[in-house]
Amino acid sequence: MEATQPARIRVRPANKANLVIQGTLIVLSILTIYGLLTLDTRNVDPVAAFGDMLNSFRIVFLEARLDNLNWFELLRELLITVCLGLLTTVFGAGIAFFLALIAAQNLAPLHVTNVVKAVMAFIRAVPTVLWVLFFAVTTGLGSVAAVIGMTFHSISYLVKAYAETFEELDPGILEALRACGANWWQTVFQAVTPSTASALLSWTFVRFEINFSVAIAMGAVAGAGGIGFDMFMASAFYLNLRELGMFTYAVLIFAILLEWGATHLKATVGKIEQK
């Protein structure tokens, strides 16, 4: 038998970039340890506080029950939040699809795509809650401001996602259609849309999950209602951890069902594309 040579261990060279990264990690570690050691606990016993936190988690997850609402009211509040997330996703996806067509570099002139991407980047840079509060100045706090603000941010997010999906399309397909005399709209609906349907659907569901979680927060911050407002009342107003736990379970169950539905729908669309 031939003697096998021992495998060589590759050692990363100590170049300037690695030294900077290692130095940064060491400094951050030292600052973290120093911050923990000098933390002002304001006469609060950390051990007792940690025990109270665990007890609160036990109440939330193991003793969950409804005290002020019944099951019908719980489902109604959850449905309101779902509708807020769904409505903003539908509006955002519809508008973002057409904006993404002129934001993709393989479908529109470069100067047009740069302008659209710059505007969308500015909108994305502002948090959703600020857009909601901005529109609340004119419409007032409530579901209207929440829908407009969430839709505004959803458009900027989906334009980036859709445009990058369109740009990954095989250029040979577009060139073949253009060589056959297909106009811009025929190229979009006969090549771009069918080839990217699965990816577009995935991005849309991702945004729906984000909008659902944002709608929960907007229920408390912007007075949009739904289960988010009830969670805020149960946690900050009358402090009912058991009811808060039931709201949490409702949100978790819906999130799991949403993920399951998105996975199966994507698989179905993928089978259709293969046929």
Distance CA 220, CA 142 (A): 10
Helix (H, G, I), strand (E, B) or coil at 147: helix
Cβ-Cβ contacts under 8 Å for 222 (sequence gap 6 or more): 129, 132, 133, 136, 141, 142, 145, 146, 149
Query: Could you tell me if residue 225 is left (phi over 0), alpha (psi between -120 and 50 degrees) or otherwise beta?
Result: left
C-beta of residue 180 within 8 angstroms of C-beta of residue 172 = no
How high is the pLDDT of residue 1? 47
10: left (phi over 0), alpha (psi -120 to 50) or beta: beta
Residue of 216, 269, 252 whose CA lies nearest to 88: 216
Distance CA 37, CA 127 (A): 33
**Contact indicator for 21, 13 with CB cutoff of 8 Å:** no
CATH topology of domain 67-274: MetI-like fold (1.10.3720)
Cα dist from 160 to 12, 230, 261, whole Å: 36, 34, 24
Predicted pLDDT at 275:
63
Say how far residue 239 (Cα) sits from the centre of its chain: 29
Q: How far apart are the first and last CA of the chain?
A: 52
Give the pLDDT of residue 240: 86
Closest CA to 68 of 195, 202, 199, 241: 241
Domain definitions of the chain by residue range: 67-274
Query: What predicted TM-score, i.e. pTM, was given to this entire model?
Result: 0.78
pLDDT value for 9: 57
**For the CA atoms of 196, 198, 202, 205, what is the dihedral angle to 10 degrees?**
110
Q: Which residues contact 268 (CB under 8 A, 6 or more apart)?
A: none
Residue ranges of the chain with per-residue pLDDT less than 70: 1-14, 269-270, 272-275
Q: Is 160 helix (H, G, I), strand (E, B) or coil?
A: helix
Taking alpha carbons only, the member of 89, 16, 88 closest to residue 262 is 89
Task: Calculate the CA 215 to chain-centre distance.
Answer: 12
DSSP state of 226: S
Taking only the tens place, the pLDDT of each residue in 111-168 is 999 999 999 999 999 888 888 888 888 877 778 888 898 998 999 999 999 999 998 8
